[in-house]
Amino acid sequence: MSEWSPEVLEVLEASGWMPGRRVGTAGWRSMFEDVGIVVHDAAEAFLQEIGGLTVSIGGPGISRAREPFELDPELARGEEDRFSEWSAVLGRELFPLGELDHGRFFLGIDEGSEIYLVETWVASFGAMPHALENLILGVLPRRIDEGHG
């Protein structure tokens, strides 16, 4: 997944990422499978490499402010209904990744490695690896649920 720009690599490395990083995902898997949300291959691959990182960024970005985010699915515990409902609406399997802007928004990933901002509405940061670039560099996600009540 590490096809990132030097600036993004610098931010990730400052957050504790390194090439070849692998973390265990069994705890996250069991936590969510117990409530009916299954870890798909894209979520597993993302979390093995990038799970557990806290990215402390701020300031102006390309088309939105850069906001800190934490890639710990446990932060979305208790929000399973939100992820299940959006999965049904979108026809995709969203798995929680963590939170954006200190819990103001949640982050999720679908089986195609597309990263989403999840709230009472949903927006896409695009597919990996560009999604992480967009998240770190401050690119406004594309809102995809217009008209959903």
Q: What is the pLDDT of residues 97-137, one digit of tens each?
A: 999 999 999 999 999 999 999 999 999 999 999 999 999 99
Check residues 51 and 149 and name the one with the higher pLDDT.
51
CATH entry 3.40.1580 includes domain 6-141:
yes
The pLDDT of residue 118 is 96
Q: pLDDT band for 1, please (50, 70, 90 cuts).
A: very low
Backbone angles phi, psi at 48, to 5 degrees: -60, -40
The pLDDT of residue 111 is 97
The pLDDT of residue 3 is 81
Q: Which residue has the tokens 């705890």?
A: 27
Helix (H, G, I), strand (E, B) or coil at 102: coil
- For the chain, helix, strand, coil in percent to 5 are 35, 20, 50
The answer to whether residue 144 scores a pLDDT higher than 80 is yes
Give the pLDDT mean for 74-101.
Answer: 95
Question: Domain residues of the chain, as ranges?
Answer: 6-141
What single-letter DSSP state applies at residue 62?
S
Strand partners, 108: 96, 116
The answer to whether residue 80 scores a pLDDT higher than 50 is yes
The pLDDT tens digits for 37-72 are 989 999 999 999 999 999 999 999 999 999 999 999
